[in-house]
A = this chain, B = another copy of it.
Amino acid sequence: MPEMTRIVLAARPEGAPGAESFRIERAPLPEPGPGMVLLRTIWLSLDPYMRGRMDAAKSYAAPVEVGATMEGGGVAEVLASQAPGFAPGDVVVGPTGWASHAVVPAEALRRIDPAAAPLSTALGVLGMPGLTAWVGLDHIAGAKAGETVVVSAATGAVGSLATQLARRRGLRVIGVAGGAEKCAYAVETLGCDACLDHRAPGGAAALSEAIGAAAPDGVDIYFENVGGRTLEAVLPRMNLHGRIALCGMIAWFSGKGAAEPMTLPAVWRTILTRRLRVQGFLVFDHFDRMPEFLAEVAPLVRSGEIVWRESVSEGLEAAPGAFLRLLEGGNFGKQLVRVGHDPAGT
């Protein structure tokens, strides 16, 4: 009997998750019912939002139940289909979960063209992270040429496209990243005007000074992925009528930062006195813009004008460790797990 492998949530973490939070299981390969498609996972995407799903508290989506397969998006090959429009051999992107195989409703799948770009880009620069960067910069922050933007997690899956798009739109781009290697990449490869290391000595105060020096006209837009020290450093640099496009808070996902010196009243006062607009957004609300996004960015990816970087872990069993490293900022570029053979050969 054919089997599949999956990784389930073994226990809800208290504070930072660890290896004990996950468990590998084997199970019989399921068969697709009407309207469903059986998938073989090729690439699994690991993303910070998954940390939220591990908690019992309702976030924007229901939590993963203890004992259930960890949720996640992947690129997969169709093995069997009970739905019109999908046939064996098709390559799709969809909610595979952390699993070698999955049965998924057809309406949750999007077919991708294996010839257009490497398959894995459908999870990164041409997928949800890329769309997040594009929507956030243009539609949430309303970026305009001549403005200054600070992009946190500048070399991450979202940040690395946000920086490159901002530069193409004519903004001054200041990245924030963890460590000298990432900062060098942000400037030399992504084209940031400056990139600051949030791990440098001196804490938020020193980081804020450095941002001030790199942004002599102040900061009009903060592309906010992280919260924590970086938020604390950027906020005093925000210009009147600045915008904060808030799509993540990885520094706080594991309950860190409870002792942050910046208090809510101080933040509220800055929003008021600088007349800031803070806009939370999630890519799930903006899937209707995917064609428009791909029309602009896919050609730039193919031509090499937009670059991307991946951090690949081999085999589904590597997913928990890779995810824990991701939460610590240990990845460099879009974090992927190669779960199965890639027929496009990337």
Chain A residues proximal to chain B, CB less than 8 Å: 52, 59-60, 227, 231, 246-249, 252, 257-258, 260, 262-265, 267-269, 271-282, 285
A-B contact pairs, 6 of them (CB 8 A): A231-B268, A249-B265, A271-B278, A273-B282, A275-B282, A275-B285
A248 to chain B: closest residue by CB: B272
> Which chain B residues lie closer than 8 Å to A52 at the CB level?
273
* Closest B residue to A251 using CB positions: B265
Which listed residue (B60, B264, B271, B272) contacts A263, Cβ 8 A? B264
Identify A273's interface contact among B60, B262, B272, B273, CB under 8 A: B60
* A249–B279 alpha-carbon span in the complex (Å): 19
Q: Are A277 and B279 in contact (CB under 8 A)?
A: yes
Q: 14 other contacts beyond A60-B274, A231-B268, with CB at 8 A cut-off?
A: A227-B264, A246-B271, A249-B272, A252-B265, A252-B269, A257-B265, A260-B263, A260-B264, A264-B264, A264-B267, A271-B280, A272-B282, A275-B280, A278-B279
Q: How far is the CA of A231 from the CA of B59 in the complex (A)?
A: 19
- By a CB distance below 8 angstroms, the chain B residues around A252 are 265, 268-269
Among A60, A247, A263, A275, chain B packs the most CB atoms within 10 A around the CB of A275
A338 CB, min distance to chain B CBs, angstroms: 30
- CA gap between A219 and B270 in the complex, in Å: 24
Nearest B residue (CB) for A267: B264
- Shortest beta-carbon distance from A277 to chain B in Å: 5
Cβ of A271: which chain B residues have Cβ within 8 Å of it?
246, 278, 280
User: Could you say which of B262, B275, B276, B280 contacts A272, with CB atoms under 8 Å apart?
Assistant: B280
Closest residue to A278 on the B side, CB-wise? B278
| Complex CA distance for A268 and B263, rounded to whole angstroms | 12
> Which B residues are CB-close (under 8 A) to A278?
271, 276-279
Chain B residues lying within 8 Å of A249, measured Cβ to Cβ, are: 265, 268-269, 272
Contacts of A267 in B (CB 8 A): 264, 267
A258 adjacent to B248 (CB under 8 Å): no
Please, which residue of chain B has its CB at the minimum distance from the CB of A59?
Answer: B273
Q: List chain B residues, Cβ under 8 A from A276.
A: 278-280
- Distance between A259 CB and nearest chain B CB, rounded to angstroms: 10
Tell which of B265, B268, B280 touches A246, judged by Cβ atoms closer than 8 Å.
B268
Q: How far is the CA of A264 from the CA of B275 in the complex (A)?
A: 18
B265 touches A227 (CB 8 A): yes
Expressed in whole angstroms, the Cα–Cα distance for A59 and B265 within the complex equals 13
Give the distance to chain B from A208, nearest Cβ to Cβ, in Å.
Answer: 16
* Distance A279 CA – B269 CA, assembled complex (angstroms): 12
How far, in Å, is A345 (CB) from chain B's closest CB? 38
CB distance from A232 to the nearest CB of B (A): 9
- A271→B247 CA distance, assembly (Å): 9
Q: A275: shortest Cβ distance to chain B, in Å?
A: 5
Distance in angstroms between the alpha carbons of A276 and B279 in the assembled complex = 6
Complex Cα gap A148–B204 (Å): 39
CB-CB under 8 A from A280, the residues of chain B are: 271-277
Residues of B within 8 A of A279 (CB): 275-278
Q: How far is the CB of A308 from chain B (nearest CB, A)?
A: 24
